[in-house]
Amino acid sequence: MRDSIGQSAPVIEAKGLGLTFQTGDGPVHALKDVDLTIGKGEFVSFIGPSGCGKTTFLRCIAALEHPTEGTLTVNGMAPDAARRARAYGYVFQAAGLYPWRTIAGNVKLPLEIMGYSRADQETRVRNVLSLVDLDGFGKKFPWQLSGGMQQRASIARALAFDADILLMDEPFGALDEIVRDRLNEELLKLWARTEKTIGFVTHSIPEAVYLSTKIVVMSPRPGRITDVIESTLPRERPLDIRDSKEFIEIAHRVREGLRAGHGDEA
Ligand SMILES: Nc1ncnc2c1ncn2[C@@H]1O[C@H](COP(=O)(O)OP(=O)(O)OP(=O)(O)O)[C@@H](O)[C@H]1O
């Protein structure tokens, strides 16, 4: 099914991508010389210290920022066009659910804005809530759910309109480790079921290694890619795979990449 991923058409392609912000304190090179290809159905993590441009890269894909150098295509289109074609769903670190809306009401919101019919909205909300294991929670309000459940609801909201790309910016960063482990497992299952292409920002080496088919290591000033690691782990990943030799080797390479990036900075 997915064993030909390496050869699949690029969903996201960056060539010589750069973004310099002009600030009162002078230019900030948030991204420089970024070359990256993401194929259909890949799970790509971005890891690196604060300020290395992880969020900026995700925001460029989402057309929330505009590169000042190079080219970027999303589903073969300019990011603005891909955005209009609703190519992606975006999940933020904070679940960002409206407290006055029920869980179903929150998940439904993008569908209302996009003008889906009432019946279609109901069906989609039911389906995506089930996908993230929140069957029966649609009538609850966000404050009645745990932090992990709220984050699952925000993933459901991003999945509601069938975008084939899911962009996730540190979605589990604020959760405790046990909850995070469980959500990592669930996210892998969801990815296997939906065959989405996922771009995932994290600060956690184990999370990046556990989830990804490809790990992009970045370093700051200027924000750039220092290593791209193709994972050799099987796609089926029980949590205890984290004790395997292969996992530990990949984690070691990520750590070395992060350390090297820090060295350059000095
Ligand atoms: N709108 C902006 N205006 C000016 N500088 C910005 C802007 N957005 C980001 N930057 C700068 O660009 C650099 C990259 O920021 P970015 O948020 O992409 O990093 P990050 O790797 O996601 O960091 P973190 O892990 O802390 O979220 C930083 O130096 C940041 O201060």
Task: Enumerate the CATH 3.40.50.300 domain ranges in the chain, comma separated.
Answer: 5-87+164-265
216 in contact with ligand 1, CB cutoff 6 A: no
Q: What's the CA-to-centroid distance between 224 and ligand 1, angstroms?
A: 12
Pocket test for ligand 1, best of 46, 50, 61, 226 (most atoms within 8 A of CB): 50
From first to last of its 266 residues, the chain has per-residue pLDDT tens of: 444 444 567 999 999 999 999 999 899 999 999 999 999 999 999 999 999 999 999 999 999 999 999 999 999 999 999 999 989 999 988 888 999 999 999 999 999 988 999 999 999 999 999 988 899 999 999 999 998 899 999 999 988 888 999 999 998 887 888 888 888 998 898 899 888 999 999 999 999 999 999 999 999 989 999 999 999 999 889 989 999 999 999 999 999 999 887 754 43
ipTM comes to 0.97
Give 5-87+164-265's CATH code, choosing from 3.30.430.20, 3.40.50.300, 3.40.309.10, 2.60.120.1360: 3.40.50.300
21 lines ligand 1 (CB under 6 A): yes
Return all residues near 266 (Cβ < 8 A) that are at least 6 apart. none
Whether the CB of 53 sits within 6 Å of ligand 1: yes
Q: Which two tokens stand for residue 175?
A: 């959760």
Report the separation in Å between the CA atom of 51 and the middle of ligand 1, taken as the mean of its atom positions.
Answer: 5
Its pTM stands at 0.91
Contacts of 219 (CB under 8 A, 6+ apart): 48, 49, 52, 226, 258, 260, 261, 262, 264, 265
53 CA distance to ligand 1 centroid (A)?
6
Ligand 1: residue whose CA is nearest its atom 8:
56
Q: How many residues does the chain have?
A: 266
CA-to-CA distance for 245 and 249, rounded, in angstroms?
6
